[in-house]
Chains A and B, each alone.
Chain A
Amino acid sequence: EDQVTQSPEALRLQEGESSSLNCSYTVSGLRGLFWYRQDPGKGPEFLFTLYSAGEEKEKERLKATLTKKESFLHITAPKPEDSATYLCAVQQGGANSKLTFGKGITLSVRP
């Protein structure tokens, strides 16, 4: 049973067309929810950590939000360079416990 589900699996946007990526989770006792960006052939690049429902974090065109059941990664006016796979992961238990990842959302932004 998947603990972390990301949707849609793939998303194609026109440059400037804002949208949201969804990450829903079913774990209890969430300690933190992480967002990463991964480019082809590279390692995941850290974006955000959210710790409590209602928390929001922003970085350039990206904003991450968290509720008790899901997280959204909002992309405002995306550019072609935002094309990548976006991964979310949840953490339960202790401060250094493992992350459980979803399968990712592949975003393509057309110029």
Chain B
Amino acid sequence: NAGVMQNPRHLVRRRGQEARLRCSPMKGHSHVYWYRQLPEEGLKFMVYLQKENIIDESGMPKERFSAEFPKEGPSILRIQQVVRGDSAAYFCASSPSAGERFFGPGTRLTVL
């Protein structure tokens, strides 16, 4: 059973471009969580999704950031018009229901 998959692993964008980060949860997992990790800081919750629904987006910046988890395909975290402050590692985690969350390897976004 493959673990949580994220791609790309590394992404470089120039200011003003769009970044699309993908997360494929573990097989049988219908809950996806996105977190952001800045250097020397802990993981910060961004958004929680189930298939086709956003359940909790309390950690998402109000502008430029969006997330989806369609019926088919991976979950997508989209950042429009990236700025240097968006540079971070973005992790997604999945869970089957209650309890354990399994994290992917992360996408490291660098904004030039």
Q: Which residues of A contact B (CB under 8 A)?
A: 4, 32, 34, 36, 42-46, 49, 87, 89, 95-104
B16-43 Cβ-contact flags toward A at 8 Å (1 or 0) = 0000000000000001010100001111
Contact indicator A36/B103 (Cβ below 8 Å): yes
**Interface residues in B, total, Cβ within 8 A:** 29
Contacts of A100 in B (CB 8 A): 45
Interface of A is mostly: strand
The 10 closest A-B pairs by CB, nearest first: A95-B98, A43-B103, A103-B42, A101-B42, A101-B43, A98-B45, A44-B103, A43-B105, A43-B106, A43-B104
Residue in contact with B103 in the complex, picked from A45, A96, A97, A102, CB distance below 8 Å: A45
Contact indicator B41/A103 (Cβ below 8 Å): yes
Distance of A32 Cα from B35 Cα, bound (Å)? 18
Q: Is B100 interfacial (CB-CB < 8 Å)?
A: yes
Q: Which residues of B contact A (CB under 8 A)?
A: 4, 6, 31, 33, 35, 40-45, 48, 55-56, 58-59, 91, 93, 95, 97-106
Q: A87-B43, A95-B99, A99-B45 are in contact. List 16 more A-B contacts (CB 8 A).
A: A42-B105, A43-B91, A45-B103, A46-B103, A89-B43, A96-B31, A96-B97, A96-B98, A97-B48, A98-B33, A98-B48, A98-B56, A98-B59, A99-B101, A101-B43, A101-B45
